[in-house]
Structure 1
């Protein structure tokens, strides 16, 4: 027997009621694929002094069950100078004297790379995610005898 459902919300509710898990590894793979353009743009926009900062930009989402429906992009933990990322992104507005060493840290103008990468690609990524989620939901609906689309 096939049940007819009209929209994505109804499909999601019906699948949840059947015990189908919507947050699955396929969802995370799709999210990463659609979001990769943000990572690539951020790497291109990042300061290239040594290239270490740009190379460290990537997905920082763990592979645990709590992160199947989200993707986090940032500086990966293997980047030794991870404090520099926020300094480049937001700048250091005034000279600061370190209390422990007395060293002057100087002024660093903001050179944003993460926010512009997100802003430049937000629409494209959002559209890709919407289409990707729709395909995953349609596949799950068909597998569970729901007539969707």
Structure 2
């Protein structure tokens, strides 16, 4: 016995699934995370102790890990995209000593600014990521 079936709307469904893939692409994830990362960076710039202003000026958001050498924070949403937030080493101004300010040294007490910035903006950052990704997915679903 032979059976056949016809599915109406399959091509439309495939197109919508393709748009969903685009809405959650690395490019969209990067954009969403960069914008959310700026929330943390702005708060860190407010909290960082200022002497010359170089450390504050070096706090950036980037997708390039080499500039950070382990200082600062990383932000990701479970995909291949990761954003780095914190003082940038080798930049102008140079924030090479950010980790010493954050964690202290044998000669200087810690003056944390990155962790408090993250902690105080966590809810806002999560909401921003959730809302921006939801908007991108809804836009893709509408076509």
Shorter chain as denominator, the TM-score bin is: 0.5 to 0.7
How big is the shift at 1:138?
1.7
Q: Name stretches of at least 5 consecutive residues in structure 1 with no aligned partner.
A: 4-13, 95-106, 144-149
With the length of structure 1 as denominator, give the TM-score of the two structures.
0.65
Alignment correspondent of 1:129: 129
Cα distance between partner residues in 2 of 1:141 and 1:30: 18
2:94 maps to which of 54, 57, 80: 80
How big is the shift at 1:122?
0.3
Spell out the pairing of 1:90-129 with structure 2 (5 A cutoff): 90-92=103-105, 94=106, 107-129=107-129
RMSD: 2.5
Pick closer, same or farther for the CA change 1:19–1:45 going to 2, 3 Å: closer
With the length of structure 2 as denominator, give the TM-score of the two structures.
0.68
How big is the shift at 1:15?
3.2
How big is the shift at 1:81?
4.8
For these two proteins, the number of residue pairs brought into alignment is 114
Pick closer, same or farther for the CA change 1:53–1:129 going to 2, 3 Å: same
Alignment correspondent of 2:81: 69
